[in-house]
Structure 1
Amino acid sequence: MTTARPALDPELRELLADMPLMSRLGPEVLAQVRPFSSMPVEPLLEGRAIDRREVAIASPDGGRIPLSVFSPAGAERSPKAPCVYWMHGGGMVMGDRFSQIDIPLEWLGRFGAVVVSVDYRLAPEAAGTTLVDDCYQGLLWVAEHAEDLGVDPARVVVAGASAGGGLTAGVALMARDRGTPAIAAQVLIGPMLDHRNTTASSRQYSGDPGVWTREMNEFGWRSVLDGLPGDEVPGYVSPASADDLSGLPTTYIDTGSAEVFRDEDTDYATRIWAAGGQAELHVWAGGFHGFDALYPHASISTTARRTRTDWLARVLSPNRARR
């Protein structure tokens, strides 16, 4: 029996009609699509007053973690700038530190923020906690080098889209539990939060080709979880399975009504509220997964991006009371 689904936004439906879609993802398909899972960053920087610096840090297990640092060119460092620490999407199996980078670069332009994007290792080559550990190590580097970066350590925001949104949530949990570093806010854009894949929305977007289907989601999670012993999945890896969501930084979550992650994202916001935390949730009617990254000029996308940026403006205000 076909499961009824929320209708797509009419403009998005027309745009999506010209996009090649998949229903499943496996090792052979992954090898084919990986080279196309990121766009070159140079065209985005052309004509913009942005300084770029490339850094590589070592993980505790000896791995190499590349970071890209983007700063307003010639910017005065007094007062200190806010920082956006970015984790890219790609189902945990593809993408790189330049994937969806246009989103945080908007915040560089609007707020004079320093943007640091991390190239965490991908599954299935890396698995278990490796991906979130890489992201956490990059955040530690930002905190340790805040002075050199010209960054205000009280205004560091962690942000990510899709798999990067899930990793952002995992990093926020890790920083809370370890007591460092300080995070002013987390921005979770269509986050991939729950390995269980049992929600109504995950079942609605199963079988037919799509931007990100239930079957593709199962492959992404299987690629990560194969590196974990036993049946225990840490909340750092699958944040929806964390028992305690108290003590998290103020949170922004947005998702589409017509996507796999709708229900797990909505539930995550609800659980933050239940734990006494602050979260702002937007479910964009007719939005499919990643709609505002794929089609940023669509009407619903410009509204979603503007709303997210306006929220960040409030969070990053120097007059805002610190948590």
Structure 2
Amino acid sequence: MRWAKEIFKHLFLLTALFVASMLIIISVAVYLWQSTDEGRLPAKTAVVLHAINNNLVSLDINIRPPRIVTGGGGGGSPLLREDLYIPVQGDVQIPMRMYRPQGEGPFPIIMYYHGGAFLEGYGNIDTHDNIIRALAARTGSVVIAPSYRVAPDYIFPTAVEDSYSAIEWAVDHADTFNGDIDRLSVAGDSAGGNIATVTAMMSRDRDGPDILSQVLLYPLTTFKDVPFESREIYDSGYYLLSRQVMYRARDFYTPEEVMWTNPYTSPLHAEDLSGLPPALIITAEFDPLRDEGEAYAERLAEEGVPVRATRYRGVMHGFVSFYEVMQSGRYGLQETSSFLRQANQNTLQITDRYNLQVRQPPQGLDRVRDQTEAFAIAAYLIGRSGADLLNQ
């Protein structure tokens, strides 16, 4: 029996040594991933970016739920999903996805425009399905996401004209999906944030549908060569958007320089922003589009538009789409949903004075949760990388 105890003792020591070694390796790896030339990243942000930039996970969130789906963390009754085609300019039809609550309504309507640099292959309604679905669940709204046509096959103004036509379609057909045209908002991320505010401008200029509110997540607001600090610092592409992609978007979507100053491509430089709906603009610290989003919020305020601007520290471009794995993404989704609910209930309390709120990375128990999950994900990534090496 003594020899068995000795073997067990040695096995226990070897196991403890192995676990301790792995913890050290994981800790060192996460520390190194957190260290960047642009600043030190929170652990969760560092791990997610490492996984994406090293092709260990896919950026695409290619979720195809059944026709009746759950709300993605929003609670409440299941949502109804509908994929259909709607007519736009030029006798063309474009795909559109709709999530709506069950019941008689009428329900508020949110037009959501996905990001993707106005380019084919950079984003679509499938890659943004999780946020579209979550907004429907968390706001009790009908969320309509049109798949507007993009460059290089279609240059400006096709994308924004398609997007505006989608608003007109929604208003004309609201009775068919229990929508309330008196509670109509626009929202979008990145290029989609640009489209959201541009469609609000088009509706104002064309005496179109009244837009109740707008939510712009890290929006592109100018195609001009403006010397923004964030464009210079975070342009490498490591933070999910590069200067190269931005130039590519400009070259293909707005191939003529005269297009760069058009208010429907560069709303930051529009002569008149008055009369636009109250806005929530969310930016990310590690994002080349950060400064132009905040500059647009300031311009809206100067024009008398009620605006709420929030910068989230420690996160990168597109972070709200990662709400399922990043606590800051959940915060951003919560702020977006709360703003839209308040707009629908006519309880928004914001002024037209510009005031940038800076939201710190998760603290307390949320920070512990993010840290723990970051190390667990890191362990998985290291194990996966090791297995891939052994299989080569």
TM-score range, shorter chain: 0.7 to 0.9
Amino acid corresponding to residue 304 of structure 1 in structure 2: G
Kindly indicate whether residue 279 of structure 2 is the aligned counterpart of residue 219 of structure 1.
Answer: no
| Change over 3 Å in CA distance of 1:88–1:239 after alignment to 2 | same
Where does residue 136 of structure 1 map in the other structure? 164
Amino acid corresponding to residue 146 of structure 1 in structure 2: A
Superimposed CA distance per residue, residues 115-152 of structure 1 (whole angstroms, 9 cap, x where no aligned partner): 11101001111101000000000001011112222111
- Taking the aligned partners of 2:209 and 2:126, their CA distance within structure 1 comes to 24
- Taking the aligned partners of 1:174 and 1:294, their CA distance within structure 2 comes to 31
Amino acid corresponding to residue 115 of structure 2 in structure 1: G
Superimposed CA distance per residue, residues 134-181 of structure 1 (whole angstroms, 9 cap, x where no aligned partner): 000000101111222211111111111111111111111111111111
Asked whether the 8 Å contact 1:44–1:102 carries over to 2, the reply is: no
Kindly indicate whether residue 345 of structure 2 is the aligned counterpart of residue 314 of structure 1.
Answer: no
Superimposed CA distance per residue, residues 9-63 of structure 1 (whole angstroms, 9 cap, x where no aligned partner): 33211221121269xxxxxxxxxxxx97551332796456222223322322233
Asked whether the 8 Å contact 1:206–1:214 carries over to 2, the reply is: yes
- Taking the aligned partners of 1:65 and 1:258, their CA distance within structure 2 comes to 34
5+ residue gaps, structure 2, are 1-35, 72-77, 350-392
Where does residue 32 of structure 1 map in the other structure? none
Where does residue 64 of structure 2 map in the other structure? 41
Kindly indicate whether residue 326 of structure 2 is the aligned counterpart of residue 298 of structure 1.
Answer: yes
Asked whether the 8 Å contact 2:297–2:309 carries over to 1, the reply is: yes
Q: Normalization by structure 1: what TM-score?
A: 0.86
Give 3-state SS (helix, strand or coil) of 2:98's partner.
Answer: strand
Deviation, structure 1 residue 288: 0.7
Deviation, structure 1 residue 110: 2.5
- Taking the aligned partners of 1:312 and 1:231, their CA distance within structure 2 comes to 32
| Change over 3 Å in CA distance of 1:207–1:53 after alignment to 2 | closer
Deviation, structure 1 residue 108: 1.9
- Taking the aligned partners of 2:112 and 2:315, their CA distance within structure 1 comes to 22
Where does residue 51 of structure 1 map in the other structure? 80
Map 1:1-323 to 2 at 5 A: 5-20=38-53, 37=60, 39-42=62-65, 46-47=69-70, 49-73=78-102, 75-77=103-105, 80-93=106-119, 94-198=122-226, 199-207=228-236, 209-226=238-255, 228=256, 230=258, 233-317=261-345
Give 3-state SS (helix, strand or coil) of 1:187's partner.
Answer: strand
Looking at CA atoms only, which structure, 1 or 2, has the larger radius of gyration? 2
Amino acid corresponding to residue 233 of structure 1 in structure 2: T
Where does residue 29 of structure 1 map in the other structure? none
Asked whether the 8 Å contact 1:132–1:171 carries over to 2, the reply is: yes
Deviation, structure 1 residue 113: 0.8
Quick one: higher RCO (CA 8 Å, sep 6+), 1 or 2? 1
* Larger proportion of helix: 2
| Change over 3 Å in CA distance of 1:319–1:188 after alignment to 2 | closer
Asked whether the 8 Å contact 2:239–2:287 carries over to 1, the reply is: no
| Change over 3 Å in CA distance of 1:225–1:243 after alignment to 2 | same
| Change over 3 Å in CA distance of 1:103–1:207 after alignment to 2 | closer
| Change over 3 Å in CA distance of 1:145–1:19 after alignment to 2 | same
Superimposed CA distance per residue, residues 55-108 of structure 1 (whole angstroms, 9 cap, x where no aligned partner): 3223222332222222223x122xx11011111111111322233232232232
Give 3-state SS (helix, strand or coil) of 2:45's partner.
Answer: helix
User: Quick one: percent identity of the two aligned structures?
Assistant: 26
| Change over 3 Å in CA distance of 1:152–1:262 after alignment to 2 | same
Residue-pair matches, total: 303
Point out the more displaced range, 190-199 or 167-176: 190-199
- Taking the aligned partners of 1:95 and 1:40, their CA distance within structure 2 comes to 13
Deviation, structure 1 residue 299: 2.0
Give 3-state SS (helix, strand or coil) of 1:41's partner.
Answer: coil
